[in-house]
Amino acid sequence: MEKKDFEAWLDNISITFLSLTDLQKNETLDHLISLSGAVQLRHLSNNLEILLKRDFLKLLPLELSFYLLKWLDPQTLLTCCLVSKQWNKVISACTEVWQTACKNLGWQIDDSVQDPLHWKKVYLKAISRMKQLKDHEAFETSSLIGHSARVYALYYKDGLLCTGSDDLSAKLWDVSTVACWEWSSGAKTQHFRGHTGAVFSVDYNDELDILVSGSADFTVKVWALSTGTCLNTLTGHTEWVTKVVLQKCKVKSLMHSPGDYILLSADKYEIKIWPIGREINCKCLKTLSVSEDRSISLQPRLHFDGKYIVCSSALGLYQWDFASYDILRVIKPPDFSNVSLLGFGEIFALLFDNRYLYIMDLRTEKLISRWPLPEYRKSKRGSSFLAGEMSWLNGLNGQNDMGLVFATSMPDHSIHLVLWKEHG
């Protein structure tokens, strides 16, 4: 057939084919396929593959592609990145998808970072760290050896761990390098003398030039940090004061305003709240308890971040709203007893018992990781163990998951450290 005649025939056939129903079109194609030879069938196969596998990400507007990608989970998106360079480029640039994925993992998000590729890298780093936590591989241990008698006091701040011992020495340790400096008698020191019972807890604030201490004499004393002078003695507790916390308020209520300094003191049954600042003489604002008949005792594990008060008991963790003093929730760690609080944040809580260190996801109230602990020295007043860096409890960010997690004194007079393992 001549080319001109063939083109005319093809036009007529096409017009007729378009007028058919779908069923008639299918029957026509079936008939033509039955008449085709190997060359025609190979041609048909090659062209059908191209038509059926059209790259929709390449054809769609970028905004519509981003909208569709939001419906896929991150793991599926990572698999899709392997399809082609074009897919990897589009998927990696979908900032909102990766930011949401990071938030769901408990990761802090800095919205000011707009680099599209940045958030995919952050997600990969986040999922790696969370897998380490789930597999109980996120931490490593170390020991500080230097005291010759029982270590009875631990205090941690800004990467430095201070220890006090029955060997009549105090040592300052850099936990990142395990270097130690001993405070010699020629160093400038300040003595705070006045309690008639053992001192169980101290806290201080440089801005206020104040140190506070809780004691077995049922009192809280407020001291001038620079001079060692006792400024006030706060009374009202009927049990040993095992924990004091000095913190700036972040919420407004009838009793306090944002920016006010607040002192919390806890004994076996009660938590007392005191306003404190330039005016040292103060009266108790409020007394919190979890049972009026004192049937439930509190553990000396108190946390206050300016917005919420959290304290542990044998029944679980109690969380109060600081603006209203209402109990918001009671968190009961599943299948565990005698679990105590070390740190509490917006996303995670750090807990421990005689055998393990635990991380709880507060959004689900489920334990997501644990780390074995040695037979450390037990202390009812809670001075022989402490948490290290705690900013990561508000959400990991790839920078705050380093340094000290937990420290405790050991029967052999050493200090056992649990540290974040470096990113793999």
pLDDT digits (tens, 9 = 90+) for 194-241: 888 777 777 888 888 888 888 888 999 898 877 878 889 999 999 998
Q: Where are the alpha helices (DSSP H) in 81-115?
A: 85-92, 95-104
Residue 381's contacts (CB-CB under 8 Å, 6 or more residues apart) are 200, 201, 240, 242, 300
For residue 188, the model assigns a pLDDT of 40
Q: What is the mean pLDDT of residues 282-296?
A: 86
Cα gap 95→155, rounded to integer Å: 41
Torsion region of 79: left, alpha or beta (phi above 0 gives left; psi -120 to 50 gives alpha) = alpha
Query: Which of 316, 318, 301 lies closest to 201, judged by CA?
Result: 301
Residue 415's contacts (CB-CB under 8 Å, 6 or more residues apart) are 143, 144, 147, 151, 154, 161, 163, 173, 407, 408, 409
For 124-184, the DSSP string reads HHHHHHHHHHHTT-SEEEEEE---SS-EEEEEEETTEEEEEETTS-EEEEETTTTEEEE--
pLDDT value at 321 more than 70: yes
Cα gap 197→214, rounded to integer Å: 10
Q: Are 407 and 156 in contact (CB under 8 A)?
A: yes
Residue 397's contacts (CB-CB under 8 Å, 6 or more residues apart) are 107, 108, 110
Angle 85-92/116-134 helices, nearest 10 degrees?
80
Taken in order 123, 127, 128, 133, is the CA torsion positive or negative? positive
Its pTM surpasses 0.85: no
Q: Are 220 and 265 in contact (CB under 8 A)?
A: yes
Largest Cα–Cα distance in the chain?
A: 117
Q: What is the mean pLDDT of residues 414-418?
A: 90
For residue 186, the model assigns a pLDDT of 35
pLDDT value at 175 more than 90: no
Query: Across the strands, what pairs with 287?
Result: 272
Share the mean pLDDT of the chain. 83
Beta strands per DSSP E along 305-361: 308-313, 316-321, 327-331, 340-344, 348-352, 356-361
Q: Are 87 and 57 in contact (CB under 8 A)?
A: yes
